[in-house]
Amino acid sequence: MAQTRDRMPPAKDGDASPGVVDERDDPPPPSEEGAVNWKRKRKRKREGRDRPPPPPPPPPSCDPLEVFGADLMAMILNNLDARSVALSLLVSRAWHRVASSDRLWSLKCEELWSGKVHIPRISQVHGLSKLASYSLSVMDGKRTRITKYDLCDHAWEFHFSKAAPEYWQNLDPYWKGTGPPMRRYFHLDGSQTADPGDRVWGGHECCYSTVTSFVENGKIREHYVRINRWPHMSIYRKQDWSWEMSNNVFFYSSVPDANKLGGTGPLFRVVCGL
């Protein structure tokens, strides 16, 4: 009786298990070199199946500077207040380059100086960046310690106080309404003068001094201006950066001079105490 031999049916597409290379579709070549290449090819196929999918592409940039560009970003910053623009300097180097431009801070300086009666000389130094000019202006505007440069750079309107003797009030156009206020002028040599024809002045010699004393921790204990041996005058700095000096007899106020070329006041930062 003839024996029958079971034969394996031919493989069909899709019979191979997932992840297993079907060697029947890619038989090894007869040569030794071809066999090596064939093994490498098989290895690459396995690695390709085991390799995780590539990561998704990064999302588009959310940095406004990269999205809008430097010119448009400068226009946006120009609509912010100075404090917000100053904070944007800390974001990155690229932001710092845009937010520190002279064009941007020139406008901020104009806004700051608008309505001020004195412009600090320290902010008008040639070659100073507008950002530095703005910062120095703000710091000087907060200064309450007066210097001889402040005294000498400004003309001062002068009148007697309400507590002054009636004799002096009768000579004062401020109280009688007979003319413009009297003016006084301080000089770097320590002297003081008045306009010609001043009825109160009388041609007498006049000198002044500024006095500042500190306590141990560097805080100002006392600060005043004294003329001759008369009662010393307390100092007050107003929001418009003007100065006032007064005692129970006299009152001085600095005359506005914001358009004075080169600015006014000291050319250095003044230690004002802590």
pLDDT digits (tens, 9 = 90+) for 162-182: 999 999 999 999 999 999 999
Q: Residues 92-137: pLDDT tens digits?
A: 999 999 999 999 999 999 999 999 999 999 999 999 999 999 999 9
pLDDT in the model for residue 31: 67
Q: ∠ CA 247-253-258 to the nearest 5 degrees? A: 155
Query: Model pTM greater than 0.85?
Result: no
Q: 246 is written with which tokens?
A: 């007064």
What 3-state class would DSSP assign to 133?
helix
Kindly report which listed range (4-13, 48-57, 68-77, 120-129) carries the lowest average pLDDT score. Answer: 4-13
Q: Tell me the CA distances in angstroms from 157 to 44, 85, 93, 143, one per residue in order.
A: 94, 39, 49, 21
